[in-house]
Every structure is written in structure tokens, then in C-alpha cells.
Amino acid sequence: MVAKTTLISLLLASSTSAFAPPQMQTTTTSRTTQLSATKNNNNNIEIAAATFAIASSLLLSPLSASADGQTKEFKLPPIDQSDKSRCVLNSSKMGQANAARDKLYDLRECPLSGVKGNEFDLSGVIMTGTDVSKANFRDAQFSKGYLRNSNFDGADFTNAIVDRATFKGSSLKGTIFANAVLTATSFEGADVENADFTDAYIGDFDIRNLCKNPTLKGENPTTGADTRLSANCIN
């Protein structure tokens, strides 16, 4: 929003002079000079009008919407139980930036304990009631992941990118997030006991919320890291 306001200010400032009439000489000028001045003035008015239109568009354009994983009111469609190949990890071929896929990536209620998803692009995935305990998600991408009320106990997210996702209500006991990128990701209502957040990148706002989580305690059984200290929660 700051960048948008700055751009608008610059645009409007640059257009201010466009409305000012050209300086008229006190002496009589030729008809050619008068016609040229009139043309230039008209051009300045057209430029100013275009500039004002751009500034208005920027000012009135809506801010970016919340990511799918963070949306508070998100109505999920019924699970397609007829799709026998639904509970299979598939890496997105369209890139992780916008979690783009040709259809809903639905892994709800799938038994995937111990699954190998290392280096997979799982952006836009929907998990509720999903068992991915002890899964290998090293170097994986979870942009805009809807990861609620699922079992991630003992899963390994080392070097993973978990961006704009939510683990609300999920169990993350003993999960490893070492050196992971956890930007705009929520652990509200999640059980993070014995998890390891060593060297993970977490934004200031998110780390404050994580430090308030009463389950942020214990020691990771695999790495031996102190859970609370690994998240840089001193108090």
C-alpha cells in the first residue's frame, strides 16, 4: 500500500504542471507561435487526464486477497471418493507461485504415512484428516497449502518452502522444519510439541504467534533440538 501511494503521488505531481497555461509573452507573437502553444497545451491536458486515470485506477484497485491456506471461511467441496487415484502425491508442473493446477489437489482423509514427497511441488494441496506422519517433505514446496486437522507427526520439512499455508488443528509432534521457509504460515491451534525449527525463516508476526503456542516445548527425538529454543522463543 505504501508503494502504491508513493506511485500515485509521483504521478499526480508530474501531472500538476500539465494544467498550467503556457507563459504568454507581453509582446505580440506570430500566429504560428500561438497555434503551437495551443497544440502543446492540448497535449498537456491529454497527458494529465491519462495520468489522473492511472492514479485513480491504482487507488481504487483492491488489495491482494488472502492466500487459500489462510482464508478463514473456506468452503471445501465434497470428497470425490470415486477417484481411486486421488491419494497420490503429484508434483505441480505449473510452478508454485500461485498454486496453479488444472484441478483441485485433494488429499483429504488419505492414508499417506511415510510417503516420499521430497522435492515435490505440492502447492495448493488440501489436507484435512490426512495422515502424512513420518513423511519425507525435504526440499518440497507447499505454497498456499490447506494443511488443517491432519497428522504430520515425525514428518521432515527440512529446506522446504511452506508459504502462506496453515497447519491449524494439525498434529506436528516431532516434526522437523530445519532451515525451512515458513513465510505467512500459521500454526494456530496446532500441536508442535518436540518439533524442530532450527534455522527456519519465520516472519516477525508469525514467530510471535508461534511463541504463544502452549505446545511449543520438548525436544525433537531425531535432532535433539530444544523445541522452544529452536524457534528463538527465549521467554
Question: SS3 breakdown of the chain: % helix, strand, coil, rounded to 5?
Answer: 25, 10, 60
Instruction: Tell me what pLDDT residue 119 has.
Output: 96
pTM exceeding 0.75: no
Strands 126-128 and 146-148: parallel
- How many whole angstroms from its chain centre is CA 148? 17
DSSP E strand boundaries for the chain: 126-128, 146-148
Q: Is the CB of residue 177 less than 8 Å from the CB of residue 200?
A: yes
Give pLDDT tens digits for 50-95.
444 433 443 343 333 333 455 555 688 899 989 988 999 988 755 5
Q: Is the pLDDT of residue 30 over 80?
A: no
- The total of other beta-carbon atoms located within 10 Å of residue 63's CB is 7
Give the span between the Cα atoms of 35 and 37, in whole angstroms: 5
Cα separation values, 103 from 90, 133, 145, 184, Å: 12, 25, 15, 24
Burial 157-178 (b: 16+ CB within 10 A, else e): bbbbbbbbbbbbebbbbbbbbb
The pLDDT score that the predictor gives to residue 73 is 58
